[in-house]
Amino acid sequence: MNTSGAHRPSWAWSWGGVILLCAVICGWLLTHGARFDTRVTALLPDTHQSELVGRANHQLGAQFEDRFVLLLSADSLNDTAARLAGLLNQSPAVASLQWRPDDFESGDIVKALGPYRYRLMAPDWQDDVDAGQLENIEQQALKGLFMPDGLDQHPIRDPYGLLNHWLTYQLPSLFKTHHNLVTVTSEEGQEYAVLIGTLHGNPFDQGTQAQLDASLATFNDQFPRATLLRSGMIFHASEGARQARREMSTFGLSALMGLLLMLWLVFRSPKTMASLLLPLVTGGLFALTVTLLIFGRLHLLTIAFGTSLIGIAIDYAIHMQCARAAEQHHFSLSRLLPGLALGLASSVIAFAAQALTPLPGLRQMAIFAAAGLIGAWITVVVWLPRIRMKNTPHAARLADRLWAPFSRLQGRLRAPTALGLAALALILIVSRLGTDDSLRLLNTSSPDLLGDEQQVQRLLHRDTGTRYLLLTAQTADLWLDAADQLHPLLSSLKKEGHLGGFELLSDHVPTMVHQDDNLERTRTLYQQNLATLYTRAGLPETLVQQADRTLTSPPYLTLDHWLATGPGKSDQRLWIGPADPTEPQGAVAGIISLTGKADASAIKALQAADRNDPHLRLVDRVADISSVLGQLRRQIAWWVGGALVLLGLGLSLRYRRRTWRVMAPAAGAVLLVLSLYSLLGVPLNLFHQLALLLVIGLGLDAGIFITEHPTAHHAWLAITLSTLSSLLAFGLLAFSATPVLHYIGLTTLLGLLSVWLLVPLVQPRQPTSPQGSITHE
């Protein structure tokens, strides 16, 4: 056996030291704070275009992340809810739980809002006073005086029950109390107990997820007939983490078992099989260490994707061991090294293109993959030649048998025909291929959980704040005035069915001008009707003067005071305060939440308002993310083309006129996959295109090795085994329930099959070698 520089003992020992150091570093990182990430949003770039939008997004999402909501329906609702609350209160994941009416108490509302009641008047009473129609107000006041059931309808402080009527209008009662429970009723009449929990830990922490899941699992076992609707980030994060772990074990184990079976059938030697798996172990350890050092945490999707390196990392070992099995004592690493080096370079370039994307999750996957391949390659080059290999005549015979069909396909696709087919494919792709950039590409939640989330949001009239208007003004009162001016537009869109709903702080806190108007209406009401009201109620008219004195200079209700009250706490998420935290006396900012649906007409009208007002901005987080995915898809389309051009230029320095034969399997596979998607109506997305980068890398590997060794039977055996191992690794991902992995897997499955078919078709016919499978190159 010929040796080379890579075969020097010092290199082997040095690489062994690196692997040992990686094991130490990796072990230390995993035991000292390195975390596994389950957030789908970790796959996304930072889509907000300003610090203010980022603060708004965080404020709207904070409650969704830190809290969870459960709606329970059961036959014995009170007893079942008590049991569920007991389990949750015992869980270390739950810091606090609200489920009894007392848990939702808002404090002393009369004390908090009573002084401002004269400046607060519900819109229906405003209309009645403006029209001089006071009979309805008087009847309601008499009822309250004779049978008080509201808040502080005192004959002098509030004879008309202004505060009670205003709060009834502002805070419509979604909830009811039922046998010491807080309940909500669906449109179908189904009653649900409401339980709202605050998490003790991070919703993405696997320990917190496991603790809450265990409590709910225990409840479901004890009450299998109860219906439990779930809402909260922790449920989506937990489901995504379970799915990633399940697929990591399922696909990784399946690929490994299939690979072991394939290698045993070919080499029939445990020692040889162990040597083939050695690059996988060292490459995986090297990749894990590098990734943790760079990112500090590891996304579970990275691990699921990384298990696919079983197929690629072993390619180099397969090529070497197939060559050693076929050439025996004639084997020379120096002849194999150029192909191995070019194969590594092309694959790393394909993966490195992913690292150029602004998607953090994909950058992590790319670095994990590239580092794993480099680690596996070094192991193959410096360690495997030092491991004595048992003679495996079965592998040589298999190489001869595979060469027969390969040689029959050689030369059947000539350059003019290939160019013509490529042109037809391009015409088909340009004319028929659609695209898909929707956010559902990143969804990891099951339809059941998404259904629960939508039903809870609909019953509670809340959403997760994915679409809103961001408004700024110089002062809080000017902000309220600007928000109030948007009310007619938003009300019109809602009335016409274009918009599901909206939340305006100015509906709860009138501007100072409107509060002055309301005070004047209250004085008009007192002047025109109070004496009559007292007479009909049997109260002395002397109380009129005492009641009138309460209207002297009542205070204004400010936004800050409203947000500090019990009823106003739920509105805190809509108020940002200073637009620039470094300038507390500068402009202020707040959010107008848009709930439910928003059709094309609503979006068009809101976009027009955005364009016409420099202080107003429509933020659609779903649309923003879709736009980013679309931009990345278009960028990667250029990267795919650019990668092929640059690799072609680089390879032409070595292969000259044979370059097209090296490039054709990879480029042809890309065109075949895109043509198939065009014919089947499958829209192209970002992750299809990322998979095409993998196809290019793997296709170039095959093209390089067969061109480097055009008459070596072992080269085609190695390409076939590499394709099968890669199909096991990537092809299985086509059956993943995680959309990202499914799209990558499906595209890679089709692409690799295309590569395997194209390799012999574009190779020139070779004269039969009298040495059979043993080739002296």
Task: Give the residue-averaged pLDDT of 219-241.
Answer: 92
pLDDT value at residue 325: 74
Average pLDDT of the segment spanning 274-282: 86
Query: Does residue 353 form part of some domain?
Result: no
* Greater model confidence, 317 or 663: 663
- CB 585: neighbour CB atoms within 10 A? 8
How many whole angstroms separate alpha carbon 468 and alpha carbon 454? 18
Q: Cα-flanking dihedrals φ and ψ of residue 369, to 5°?
A: -65, -50
Same domain, 78 and 126: no
Residues listed for the chain: 777
| Cα separation, 597 vs 594, whole angstroms | 8
Average the pLDDT over 716-735 and give the result.
84
Going through 157-248 in order, the beta strands assigned E by DSSP cover 176-178, 181-185, 191-199, 227-231
Closest CA to 21 of 380, 375, 387: 375
Is pLDDT above 60 for 311?
A: no
Domain boundary among 594, 620, 646: 620
620, 642, 669: which is the final residue of a domain? 620
Element (H, E) at 301: helix 300-306
Distance, CA of 679 to CA of 605 (rounded, Å): 37
| CATH (domain of 194) | 3.30.70.260
533 and 615 in a common domain: yes
CA–CA separation, 502 and 484 (whole Å): 12
Residue 355 lies in a domain: no
Q: What is the mean pLDDT of residues 243-269?
A: 81
Task: Examine residue 748 and state whether it is found in any structural domain, yes or no.
Answer: no
Do 494 and 586 share a domain, yes or no? Answer: yes
Strand partners, 120: none
pLDDT tens string 548-603: 999 999 999 999 999 998 888 888 999 999 998 888 788 999 999 998 889 999 99
Per-residue pLDDT, 5: 47
Answer yes or no: is pLDDT of 777 > 50: no
The Cβ of residue 62 has, within 10 Å, a number of other Cβ atoms equal to 14
Give tens-digit pLDDT for 171-189: 766 667 777 888 898 888 8
Within 383-414, residue ranges assigned H as helices are 393-409
Q: Summarize the confidence of residues 190-204 as an average pLDDT.
A: 91
Same-domain check for residues 127 and 223: no
The DSSP annotation for 139-153 comes to HHHHHHHHS--SS--
Phi, psi of 94 (to 5 degrees): -105, 120
Q: Mean pLDDT throughout 403-411?
A: 86
Give residue for tokens 């602004």. 358
354 contacts 362 by C-beta, under 8 angstroms: yes
Planar angle of CA 439, 443, 449, nearest 5 degrees: 125
Burial-class residue 541 by CB neighbours within 10 Å (0-12, 13-18, 19+): exposed
3-state secondary structure of 315: helix
266 located within any domain: no
Q: Extract the tokens encoding 223.
A: 């009450």
Domain co-membership, 549 together with 580:
yes
**191 and 225 belong to one structural domain:** yes
Report the candidate in 87, 71, 99 with the shortest Cα–Cα distance to residue 218: 87
SS3 176: strand
**Percent of the chain with pLDDT strictly greater than 70:** 91
pLDDT (0 to 100) of residue 676: 96
Distance of alpha carbon 454 from alpha carbon 459, whole angstroms: 9
- The answer to whether 223 touches 83, Cβ cutoff 8 Å, is yes
The reported pLDDT for the residue numbered 3 is: 46
Are 155 and 78 found together in one domain? Answer: no
Sign of the four-CA dihedral 334, 352, 243, 214: positive
Cα dihedral sign for 490, 491, 492, 494? positive
Residue at which a domain ends, from 620, 646, 677 = 620
Q: Do 146 and 97 share a domain, yes or no?
A: no
CA angle 266, 267, 272 (to 5 degrees): 145
* pLDDT on residue 776: 38
* Residue in 109, 280, 91, 337 with CA at minimum distance from that of residue 195: 91
For the residues of 49-76, what is the DSSP string, one character each? SSHHHHHHHHHHHHHHHHEEEEEEE-SS
pLDDT score for 768: 55
Q: Which position has the higher pLDDT, 129 or 395?
A: 129
Is residue 181 helix, strand or coil?
strand
How is 94-112 classified by DSSP, letter by letter?
EEEEE-SGGGG----HHHH
**What is the model's pLDDT at position 244?**
75
- Is residue 751 a contact partner of residue 692, using CB atoms and an 8 Å limit? yes
- Number of folded domains in the chain? 2
Q: Whole-angstrom Cα distance, residue 327 to residue 714?
A: 8
Per the prediction, the chain carries an average pLDDT of 85
Question: What is the predicted pLDDT for the residue at 313?
Answer: 67
Short-list 504, 514, 507, CA closest to 556? 514
| 567 lies in the same domain as 601 | yes
Overall average pLDDT of the 606-622 stretch: 93
CB environment 611-640: b (16+ within 10 A), e (fewer): eeeeebbbbbbebbbbebbbebbebbeebb
pLDDT of residue 354: 67
Residue 527 has a pLDDT of 95
Residue type at 84?
L
156 and 229 in a common domain:
no
* Residue 775 pLDDT grade (very low, low, confident, very high; cuts 50, 70, 90): very low
Is 739:443 a contact under the CB 8 Å cutoff? yes
Please report the pLDDT score of residue 218 as a whole number.
Answer: 96
- Report how far residue 605's alpha carbon sits from residue 487's, in angstroms, rounded to the nearest whole number: 13
Nearest to 618, CA basis, from 99, 56, 157, 200:
56
Q: Left (φ > 0), alpha (ψ -120 to 50) or beta: where does 9 sit? A: alpha
Residues 200, 166 within the same domain: no
Segment 470-527, tens digit of pLDDT: 999 999 999 999 999 999 999 999 999 999 889 999 999 999 999 999 999 999 999 9
Lookup result for tokens 């691990």: 303
Q: Are residues 92 and 125 in the same domain?
A: no
Reference 723, options 706, 742, 743; nearest CA is 706
- Does 477 map to a domain? yes
Task: Examine residue 13 and state whether it is found in any structural domain, yes or no.
Answer: no
- Mean pLDDT within 383-404: 81
Cα→Cα distances 558→120, 398, 519, 576, 689, Å: 12, 85, 15, 15, 54
Residue that is written with structure tokens 């999707």 in the block? 301
CA pair distance 291, 365, nearest whole angstrom? 9
Domain region containing 539: 109-173+456-620
- Give the per-residue pLDDT at 49: 61
Show Cβ contacts of residue 469 under 8 Å, excluding neighbours closer than 6 positions.
486, 591, 592, 594, 606, 609, 610, 616, 617, 618, 619
pLDDT digits (tens, 9 = 90+) for 129-159: 999 999 999 999 998 888 766 667 788 999 9
pTM of the predicted model as reported, rounded to 2 decimal places? 0.76
Average pLDDT, integer, range 272-301 = 85
Q: Give the separation between CA 95 and CA 690, rounded to whole angstroms.
A: 42
CA distances from 620 to 44, 350, 441, 590, 598 (A): 15, 33, 17, 16, 11
* Residue 653 located in a structural domain: no
> Given pLDDT bands bounded at 50, 70 and 90, which one contains residue 378?
very high
Choice among 216-230, 483-497, 635-649 with the minimum mean pLDDT: 635-649
Taking 50 as the threshold, does the pLDDT of residue 773 lie above it?
no
d(CA 312, CA 391) in angstroms, rounded, equals 25
Asked if residue 762 is part of any domain, the answer here is: no
Here the tokens at position 598 are 């928003």
**Start-to-end C-alpha separation, the chain:** 14
